[in-house]
């Protein structure tokens, strides 16, 4: 167990009035030791709270009194105070295994913790899930959760996870659904492994055994140049088209049977296959928008003044529920940071990855004819990695090396965590000053205007 450390005390809040200070470590709350931010919030939600805190090696008792629904007024530094439940699968398609050496240590942690699934939308395989976990999810209302399915055939799933528990762990998915927990699923489709007939069988299994699933996203395998698994490779154009055809056939079956499409192919498949994206209304509540499902159409709608937005709660890798510490990919991205930018009426260049470039070009030119989109080639990760969220400072710097001065360069915040790129570089290290803009259509439109 580590102790939650106070990092922010809101002035005038009950915590501030009681004398809590940044740097205090919370030893217990009303005599109980919280295991994570979820238990912390439950314990903090009362009118009178006695905290045992450690300050400079000295333990103190602090009584906090709240009046009405006002929050306690502190933020802590971590979502989990006990040990994170790490993944004991050995998936050959795991992207963390494809990371180069020398990145931040936190990027190499493979979690399979249902609490992080609830808090941040991380996907869990449920191979380490237990009866005690199920009881807690039900009693504390930890919903929605996000589950990696990959295949409903037990042997195929066990083989993909390289874990014998993979063949039986989906029983927990059935148990979660039986108790009314909202669950969103994911299938990472690997060419020659779980596509084709196996994907067809998986989607049939979803309809037959897990029809209550709120949504299922089919996403393509990401392969970096550091991949060491010979059987893992990117999709061909024909394979991407085949996945789309299969998913759309099953969407029709789900609509006819359940009244909703349930299963979706990610935007990447349509870009790889060179096919037009489905209309925005076909994505429902955009529950998996940050998993690349309907992300482009939602962005486009917001760009043109619409209100397309995901349903409440975590929607993928960059969101969190209220009260969860902004750590890792959810850390503040410092939107608006800029160094010595040109005039606002200067020509604009939007920096982005290869997948988004073709989509953004007509949008930005419709507002600013003098604008352009500069594609940042991902040489750092290589392979088929082309999303804006995985752009590194090294590659952005290379793209800007010969870029002219006198232009405004807009950088999406999604490639930053705590104001820093994945490779540890900072926007101030780039050869041209950039403006960091929130990665949504409305923010880009405002920056262009």
Helices (H) and strands (E) in the chain, counts: 13, 15
Q: How far is CA 99 from CA 165, 283, 440, in A?
A: 26, 32, 27
Question: What 3 state SS string does 303-341 have?
Answer: HCCCCCCCCCCCCCCCCCCCCCCCCHHHCCCCCCCCCCC
Closest by alpha carbon to 207, among 156, 163, 264, 250?
A: 250
Residue of 346, 356, 443, 363 whose CA lies nearest to 403: 346
For tokens 């991205």, name the residue: 333
Where in the chain is CATH 3.20.20?
96-303
Instruction: Report whether 411 contacts 440 (CB < 8 A).
Output: no
Alpha carbon distance 223, 384 (integer Å): 6
What is the rounded CA–CA span in Å between residue 203 and residue 215? 11
SS3 state at 210: coil
As a whole number of Å, the end-to-end CA separation of the chain is 50
The per-residue pLDDT for 329 is 56
Give, in words, the CATH class of 6-76: mainly beta
pLDDT of residue 243: 98
Residues of the chain within CATH 2.30.42.60 domain(s) are 6-76
> SS3 for 80?
strand
Rounded to whole angstroms, how far apart are CA atoms 300 and 308?
9
Question: Which stretch of DSSP H or E encloses residue 13?
Answer: none
Query: Could you give the CA distance from residue 26 to residue 51 in angstroms, rounded to a whole number?
Result: 7
Instruction: Confirm if 440 and 289 have CB atoms less than 8 A apart.
Output: no
The residues facing 147 across adjacent strands are 124, 185
Phi, psi of 75 (to 5 degrees): -120, 140
In this prediction, residue 315 carries a pLDDT of 43
Residues 6+ apart with CB under 8 A from 74: 6, 8, 9, 10, 13, 15, 20
Give the contacts of 374 (CB within 8 A, at least 6 positions apart): 349, 350, 351, 352, 399, 400, 403, 409
Which of 78, 75, 74 is CA-nearest to residue 66?
74
Residue spans of the chain under pLDDT 70 = 1, 306-323, 326-344
- φ/ψ of residue 58, rounded to 5: -110, 135
* DSSP letter assigned to residue 176: H
Residue 301, Ramachandran bin (φ over 0: left; ψ between -120 and 50: alpha; else beta): alpha
Residue 353 CA to residue 375 CA, distance in Å, equals 5
Task: Identify the architecture of domain 96-303 in CATH.
Answer: Alpha-Beta Barrel (3.20)
Could you tell me which residues come within 8 angstroms of residue 56 by beta carbon, excluding any fewer than 6 positions away?
none
Residue with tokens 């002219």: 404
What's residue 102's pLDDT? 81
Q: What would the pLDDT profile of 357-407 be if each residue is shown by its tens digit?
A: 989 999 999 999 989 999 999 999 999 999 999 999 999 999 999 999 999
**Nearest CA among 398, 404, 188, 380 for reference residue 389:** 380
Q: Rounded to two decimals, what is the model's pTM?
A: 0.90
Query: Which residues, 6 or more positions from 312, have their beta carbon under 8 angstroms from its beta carbon?
Result: none
Q: How far apart are CA 194 and CA 433, in angstroms?
A: 44
Sort strands 215-220 and 263-265 into parallel, antiparallel or unpaired: parallel
Q: What is the pLDDT of residue 308?
A: 55
């Amino acid at each position: 167990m580590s102790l939650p450390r106070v990092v922010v005390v809101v002035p005038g809040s009950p915590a501030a009035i009681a004398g809590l200070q940044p740097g205090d470590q919370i030893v217990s709350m009303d005599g109980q030791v919280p295991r994570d931010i979820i238990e912390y919030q439950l314990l903090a939600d009362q009118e009178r709270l006695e905290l045992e805190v450690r300050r400079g090696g000295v333990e103190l008792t602090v009584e906090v009194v709240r009046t009405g629904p006002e929050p306690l007024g502190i933020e802590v530094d971590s979502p989990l105070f006990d040990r994170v439940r790490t993944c004991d699968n050995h998936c050959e398609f795991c992207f963390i295994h494809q990371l180069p050496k020398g990145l931040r240590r936190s990027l190499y942690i493979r979690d399979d913790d249902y609490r992080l699934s609830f808090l941040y939308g991380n996907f869990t395989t449920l191979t380490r899930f237990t009866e005690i976990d199920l009881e807690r999810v039900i009693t504390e209302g930890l919903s929605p959760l996000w589950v990696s399915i990959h295949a409903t055939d037990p042997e195929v799933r066990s083989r993909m996870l390289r874990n014998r528990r993979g063949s039986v762990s989906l029983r927990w998915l059935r148990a979660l659904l039986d108790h009314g927990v909202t669950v969103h699923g994911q299938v990472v489709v690997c060419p020659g492994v779980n596509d084709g007939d196996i994907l067809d069988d998986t989607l049939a299994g979803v309809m037959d055994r897990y029809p209550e699933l709120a949504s299922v996203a089919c996403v393509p395998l990401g392969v970096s140049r550091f991949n060491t698994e010979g059987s893992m490779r990117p999709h061909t154009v024909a394979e991407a088209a085949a996945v789309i055809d299969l998913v759309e056939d099953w969407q029709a079956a789900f609509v006819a049977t359940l009244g909703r499409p349930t299963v979706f192919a990610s935007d990447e498949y349509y870009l790889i296959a060179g096919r037009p994206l489905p209309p925005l209304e076909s994505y429902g509540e955009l529950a998996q928008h940050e998993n690349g499902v309907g992300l482009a159409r939602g962005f486009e709608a917001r760009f043109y003044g619409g209100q397309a937005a995901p349903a409440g709660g975590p929607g993928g890798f960059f969101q969190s529920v209220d009260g969860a510490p902004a750590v890792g990919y959810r850390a503040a991205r410092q939107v608006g940071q800029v160094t010595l930018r040109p005039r606002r009426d200067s020509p604009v260049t939007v920096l982005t990855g290869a997948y988004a470039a073709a989509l953004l070009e007509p949008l930005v030119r419709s507002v600013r004819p003098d604008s352009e989109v500069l594609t940042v080639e991902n040489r750092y990760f290589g392979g088929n990695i082309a999303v804006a969220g995985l752009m590194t400072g090294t590659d952005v710097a290379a793209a800007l090396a010969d870029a002219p001065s006198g232009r405004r360069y807009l950088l999406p915040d999604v490639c930053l965590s705590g104001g820093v790129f994945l490779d540890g570089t900072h926007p101030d290290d780039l050869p041209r000053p950039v403006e960091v803009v929130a990665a949504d259509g409305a923010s880009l439109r405002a920056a262009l205007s």
